[in-house]
Structure 1
Amino acid sequence: MFVCTTFLIVYLFPKSGKFKYNFEKGKPWQSENLYAPFDFAIKKAEDEINSEKRSIESQAPLYFDEDETVKVNALDAYDIAFSNTFSDSLPRATLNKLKSAGKDVLENLYTLGLLSDTYTFGDDRIVEILSGNVKKRNTVYENLIEQEDLKSFIERKLSSEGLNTYASKFTSIFFDIVEPNLTYNKSFTEKALQDELNKISYTRGSVERGTLIISKGEVVEGDKFQKLKSLQSEYESQVWNEANYNWILFAYTLLVALALLMLLLFLRKYRIEVFDNNTKVTFIFFNVLLMVFITTLVVNYNSEYLYVVPLCMLPLVLKAFFDARLGMFTHVITVLLLGSIVPNSYEYMFLQILAGIVTILTVSELYKRANLFISVGQITLIYIVAYFAFFVIHEGSIETINWNTFLLFILCGLATLFVQPLIYAYEKMFGLVSDVSLLELSDTNTKLLKELSNVSPGTFHHSLNVANLAEASANEIGANAMLVRVGALYHDIGKMVNPNYFTENQSTGINPHDELSSKESARIITDHVINGIEIARKNNLPDRVIDFIRTHHGTSVVYYFYMKAKEMDKDIDSDLFRYPGPKPFSKETAILMMCDSVEAASKSLKNPTSTKIDAFVENIINKQIDEEQFLNANITFKEIQSIKKVLKHKLANIYHLRIEYPE
């Protein structure tokens, strides 16, 4: 898992060198004097290149195709149309003058060119007229005639010839015979423009190896800034890195392996139960890999959207399934991994670690929807405040602040709310259980608990009492109260197999154990643990809940039947009357063992007093300690004393005698 995750993360990372200096325009150079490590060209600034492109685009010629047959056809049609329009009653000299004037208008019209469509080009744009893809002549766009200007052009030409009287007749003739002779050649124009754009030089000058680029304390601006950007680009370009590709790959692998190794060592030292569980380790590594994958996708697409990635979902998810400390440690490791691929890495890492800390500190009881919304609001606020502070430090003012970045933080907060359905999906995929699922299981209307209340009502009531005691005890020592409550509700479901063999369900006064030997009775009693595990698995209860069924009696002895058998045979083996175990191996399972034993035995108290209850609780729990039942649980003597105190207080309240009401 470690090796596979390492190589997958390295595969996602960009395979390029990284410039080892951080610099910002307008800020002093903090490092030592920088000399050129090799020859490199000075790249033009992006604004300068864009300006050149705009200049070329505005001055690039437009190309129009001319159809020469249109003019010939129009002149032929003109002779016929003229004869049909003007009567022979006019003097021949006048007719000849009019006909010649009309031809001049047509000649002039087609010499300038009549457009086939209306365009929005500037009047001063150069136009090249093509005839069969060969340049014929050039002009400017304002000299070309658009169809909507045709009437005014004809009237203007006739007026100059003094033929205003015949303008309407000529207009009708021309509108019948005139056709456009110029068509915009878009593909030729774009090809010619692209040829000009390709001629743009993206560099200006060069820097030789060993040349001083910038001195310590100098302000990074102007030409120095451009030289630094050019050097950085050379470091990160694929061309420069081809010879060093394997070294860069090896270095990335080392860094990623070290980070993941720290995570594994943390699990081995502080979370050994997680380290020993392949599913849980896979789950943690999968989440780290998922966050790296999403962030890499965003960086490759557009790094401006980097803060949309809801990285705080990682500590939220891990806290839901494990604990806050593991969630925070994994979040920091992930942020360190991402620091090598994101721009402005220090700012990014500062913001994300700060947000992760806020996530861990503010989100409690994730199953409560209001808590999640409040926490997401606080995370978003921290993002905005921290980013604002960084921007002011870098720029010195807020005049040029990009308010759209704040919108990205809000979108990140909204995306974080997706953690609830994500947790549900993870539960199904990895077989884990969160507090949300525990809340659902704690509902006494679930199918299994309803069946328990119908089949074994006494056991169900006992489980409710144990759940209340265990929850109060867990809250007292800071254990998982929701988990121990659910464990208490289900710990005795195995008694549904033979409910009448347990005293809390014997309502008729008949005890079936009277007809059995002590060994048989003990076997039925101890079997409720095995039966409970089988019922739990059939009903798909989580393993964390089944652990309570397995451990709530530990390896203790069914003392009543053991002593009864010992009266018959003093040498009888106590292991025949012992529960199969294992012993409790967590604070929560240890709490349940104490509460279960105390609650069950408390039913035998006669005339309970405060002194009796205190001695009773001390006796039962001390006996469990003497039998080393808590040896595998990470619970301290101080915590056990606190649990004793809670149990004594609760039992005193339960058995508090009310005043006797008169009949």
Structure 2
Amino acid sequence: MAVEKLTTKKKDNLSEPKRLLSNQFFVKVLFGLATVLICTIFHMFRFYPREDLLSFSFQEGGIWPHRTLIAEYSFPIFKSKEQYLQDVEKARESVLPVFLENRNAQTQTITRLDSLFQRLQNQNFTSQAFEEVIPNFPYKNSFIVSAQEKQIELQKAKNLVIRFLVNAFSRGVVDNNLKNFKTSEVVIASSNNNTERIFPKRFLYDRERLKKEIQSLLSPNYKEEIVELFNELVARSLVPSLSFSEELFQRRIQIAEKSVPRTIGFVKAGEVIVEKGKKLNDIDVLKLKSYEKVKLLEEEKSFVFSSFFGSFLNILSIYSIIFIYLLILRKRIFGDNFQFGLINVVFILVGLLAWLSVIIQTDLQIRYLILLPSISLLIAIVFDSRTAFYSTITFSLLIASIRGNDFETAFALMLAGIIGAYSVRDIQSRTQMFRSMVFVALGFVVPILAFYFQKASNPSSLFEQMSFAFLNSILSPIFSYGMLFIIEKLSSITTDLKLKEFDDINHPLLQKLSEVAPGTYQHTLSMALLAESCAEAIGANRLLTRVGAYFHDIGKIFKPEYFAENQIEVENKHEYISPKKSAEIIKEHVTKGIELAKEYRLPPRIIDFIPMHHGTSLIRHFYAKALEESEEGTVDERDFRYPGPKPNSKETVIVMICDSAEAMSRLPIKSREELSQTIEKMIMGKLSDGQFDESDISMKDLKTIQEVCVRLLFGIAHQRVEYKDLPQNRVSSKNESQE
């Protein structure tokens, strides 16, 4: 049966909270779109089981069992990764070392050698001379040159060495060990790097080769000490004519690496890639892999946009379930930026967990570790079980979608989440959260067993699934407990667990109210019982309604004598002040009550009852009195209205109605029908005054509240039966007989 909603006020008469909600609607839409976009990314970048080439299995030596494959478009045949790396390494090894030429090296070397020889000769090759020129010369103490013939012999040896060096420098002398270069040729570049030539490495000289050649040159005709002398002199005098250039060498290596082709051939569109039944060789495998790669790239060009758009619509459709639910049925959550943001963050978190369960490569059943039951518990405690129910269904669809239509996992998580949320629906203490472990586990058991028997899986798979599901059952309450603590610390959200702390008539504020304003206190207790019964009847939050009723009138602590319920045997002070002043004092109990509530750190959800149980109602008695006293007959109605805001929930509407109904029960009511008509008139008056515009209460709910109020209040409101007194003479005779 459709529920009629209350829309009695014109748009230009919307209260400030509703205008604020309207102004922020666009922001909420943008926030929702951002959430959808993030989850769209999760949806796109997941594993897609493909039915085309990607599902084919092929390897060298295998038989191609599928249809003859013909190229839809031309593509290159890519080398395998191993082959390409091998070719790159070969290219590196083939790069010739580069040497820079020094044309002055020969002259510099011979000049230095001649200078060292002259120094030794001038001192007649004494040990002291060797100590100065060649300190480590092994023959410095036995090298004796005395005769003229010896001097001539050394001079001839020097000339031989110089002629040899001239020949060596004509080819090239390097300072590096030529064995370190694997190539048979080298590149010789001019010092200004303008010209270069390739030269056989075998013609070049390094220090080791020079030493061997000098030894071969002198050994037949000269003693060992003379051979060693000129080897030492050459070693100390040598200036290489060719210097290895590491920079130019590395530059050539980079060029060589880049020049290595990644392909080994080309397949034209329409050409047969592989025929059905053919035994695959290495080229066939390369063709197939290349076609697979190119096919993905080609598809991606046309597929990216459509894939993104499809994923976006998919996620948007799922997100719209919770968005519309909040917009229509939970305006309080939708209008609160933090609460709406929390729902969106949780939506993204579920998407992230689903995505991780896909991309983490493991054979373990980690899909059952998605903490959806924990999130269901948290939403049921922070908001309500109905919101948790809708959220769990929405999040389950999100998981199924991101996991590639994995409804098996989604259904198990959904059932566990819904049962878990139900288990904490009427939670009384924080430790009761851990009782939900059993319910969450039971929620997992049924669907897992159902799919197990349906698929006839092996027992080890069942054991693994159950193990991860039970682990989820244990982790969920723990995670919810921790997150609940954080949310309560960081936000103004008031959970039922927090409300339980204020569900105590011994609270200091209520004790003070009982002492200062006993009439208001008794009215509060009676009205709280009445409001709780009404809340239960229409499915509202009983606990919130009762606690809100306890504290709705705490502002009367300041001037209790100005309120009718406290004026027993006390003169009415309103008779001595103006109606406007009386209205100000009456309204003051709202503002003072809010200040007092904040001083005692009451949660915002409880504080809401203080202004909302009057809304923007008219203080009719003093307004009418002001009209009577006004000579001109004009009075500003705004001076006689409560500041508001209007009730924004079923609970605050209930307290508004029950506050007035409980007061009416003190009037002389003759019948049940009269009481019912009085309460109905009061409710319809508030309805026509627009006091219920901000709430989601329905006419059906209002009718139920009226019936509950009449049923419970009639016992108090009905007139007492007037018993007749006995005649005086009967009373006297009876007394005489008793004597």
* Interval of TM-score (by shorter of Structure 1 and Structure 2): 0.5 to 0.7
Pair 1:5 & 2:68 matched: no
Whether the aligned pair in 2 keeps the contact of 1:16 and 1:238 (CA below 8 Å) is no
Structure 1 residue matching 2:647: 3-state secondary structure: coil
1:350–1:619 distance in 2 versus 1, CA, 3 Å: closer
- How far is 1:452 from its partner? 3.0
Whether the aligned pair in 1 keeps the contact of 2:381 and 2:425 (CA below 8 Å) is no
Aligned pairs for 1:72-151 (under 5 A) are none
Whether the aligned pair in 2 keeps the contact of 1:339 and 1:346 (CA below 8 Å) is yes
Aligned residue number for residue 284 of structure 1: 343
Structure 2 residue matching 1:339: 3-state secondary structure: helix
Alpha-carbon displacement from aligned partner over 1:638-657 (angstroms, at most 9, x marks no partner): 33222222112212233576
Aligned pairs for 1:249-398 (under 5 A) are 250=308, 255-257=314-316, 259-261=318-320, 263-297=322-356, 300=360, 302=362, 303-342=364-403, 345-360=406-421, 363-367=424-428, 372=433, 375-394=436-455, 396=456
Aligned pairs for 1:449-598 (under 5 A) are 449-506=510-567, 509-569=570-630, 571-573=633-635, 574-598=637-661
Aligned pairs for 1:38-77 (under 5 A) are none
Specify the code of the residue in structure 2 equivalent to 1:415: L
Partner Cα distance (2:457, 2:594) in 1: 66
1:635 to 674, 694, 697: 697
- How far is 1:554 from its partner? 2.5
Pair 1:412 & 2:472 matched: yes
1:602 to 665, 671, 676: 665
Partner Cα distance (1:209, 1:270) in 2: 60
Structure 2 residue matching 1:596: 3-state secondary structure: helix
Whether the aligned pair in 2 keeps the contact of 1:365 and 1:371 (CA below 8 Å) is no
1:650 to 712, 718, 729: 712
Whether the aligned pair in 2 keeps the contact of 1:364 and 1:371 (CA below 8 Å) is no
TM-align CA RMSD: 4.1
Unmatched runs of 5 consecutive residues or more in structure 2: 1-30, 56-64, 72-76, 79-271, 278-287, 724-739
Alpha-carbon displacement from aligned partner over 1:84-131 (angstroms, at most 9, x marks no partner): xxxxxxxxxxxxxxxxxxxxxxxxxxxxxxxxxxxxxxxxxxxxxxxx
Pair 1:247 & 2:317 matched: no
Whether the aligned pair in 2 keeps the contact of 1:335 and 1:349 (CA below 8 Å) is yes
Partner Cα distance (1:210, 1:543) in 2: 73
Specify the code of the residue in structure 1 equivalent to 2:502: L
Q: Which has the larger radius of gyration?
A: 2
Alpha-carbon displacement from aligned partner over 1:615-644 (angstroms, at most 9, x marks no partner): 543443343344443344333333322222
Pair 1:621 & 2:678 matched: no
Structure 2 residue matching 1:652: 3-state secondary structure: helix
Whether the aligned pair in 1 keeps the contact of 2:612 and 2:645 (CA below 8 Å) is yes
- How far is 1:385 from its partner? 2.4
Whether the aligned pair in 2 keeps the contact of 1:585 and 1:633 (CA below 8 Å) is yes
Specify the code of the residue in structure 2 equivalent to 1:521: S
TM-score by length of 2: 0.55
1:404–1:582 distance in 2 versus 1, CA, 3 Å: same
Alpha-carbon displacement from aligned partner over 1:355-399 (angstroms, at most 9, x marks no partner): 3443455552133669755654233123122212212322x3655
1:620–1:344 distance in 2 versus 1, CA, 3 Å: closer
Whether the aligned pair in 1 keeps the contact of 2:540 and 2:650 (CA below 8 Å) is yes
Q: Which moved more, 1:527-536 or 1:341-350?
A: 341-350
- How far is 1:462 from its partner? 1.5
Pair 1:19 & 2:81 matched: no
1:430 to 468, 472, 491: 491
Q: Which moved more, 1:431-440 or 1:241-250?
A: 241-250
Partner Cα distance (1:34, 1:637) in 2: 68
Partner Cα distance (1:16, 1:609) in 2: 70
- How far is 1:524 from its partner? 0.4
Unmatched runs of 5 consecutive residues or more in structure 1: 26-32, 42-207, 214-230
Specify the code of the residue in structure 2 equivalent to 1:633: S
Partner Cα distance (1:36, 1:376) in 2: 56
- How far is 1:473 from its partner? 0.9
1:329–1:631 distance in 2 versus 1, CA, 3 Å: closer
- How far is 1:464 from its partner? 1.5
1:659–1:359 distance in 2 versus 1, CA, 3 Å: farther
Structure 1 residue matching 2:648: 3-state secondary structure: coil
Structure 2 residue matching 1:403: 3-state secondary structure: helix
- How far is 1:516 from its partner? 1.6
Structure 2 residue matching 1:312: 3-state secondary structure: helix
Partner Cα distance (1:487, 1:212) in 2: 78
Q: Which moved more, 1:363-372 or 1:525-534?
A: 363-372
TM-score by length of 1: 0.60
Aligned residues: 464
Specify the code of the residue in structure 2 equivalent to 1:647: C
- How far is 1:539 from its partner? 3.5
Alpha-carbon displacement from aligned partner over 1:462-513 (angstroms, at most 9, x marks no partner): 2111111111111112222222212211111222232222232345613332
Alpha-carbon displacement from aligned partner over 1:251-293 (angstroms, at most 9, x marks no partner): 6556445543554344335444433332222110111223333
Q: Which moved more, 1:364-373 or 1:631-640?
A: 364-373
1:400–1:659 distance in 2 versus 1, CA, 3 Å: farther
- How far is 1:442 from its partner? 1.8
Structure 1 residue matching 2:372: 3-state secondary structure: coil
Alpha-carbon displacement from aligned partner over 1:327-371 (angstroms, at most 9, x marks no partner): 333333333333355488232122223334434555521336697
- How far is 1:568 from its partner? 1.8
Specify the code of the residue in structure 2 equivalent to 1:546: I
Aligned residue number for residue 193 of structure 1: none
Whether the aligned pair in 2 keeps the contact of 1:16 and 1:241 (CA below 8 Å) is no
- How far is 1:580 from its partner? 2.2
Specify the code of the residue in structure 1 equivalent to 2:597: A
Partner Cα distance (2:646, 2:399) in 1: 43
Structure 2 residue matching 1:364: 3-state secondary structure: coil
Partner Cα distance (2:643, 2:68) in 1: 74
Q: Which moved more, 1:423-432 or 1:398-407?
A: 398-407
Partner Cα distance (2:294, 2:421) in 1: 40
Partner Cα distance (1:334, 1:254) in 2: 16
Partner Cα distance (2:316, 2:400) in 1: 15
Whether the aligned pair in 2 keeps the contact of 1:320 and 1:435 (CA below 8 Å) is yes
Identity among equivalent positions (%) equals 31
Alpha-carbon displacement from aligned partner over 1:407-456 (angstroms, at most 9, x marks no partner): 22222112222324433422332321222222222222334333333443
Partner Cα distance (2:651, 2:642) in 1: 19
1:623–1:415 distance in 2 versus 1, CA, 3 Å: same
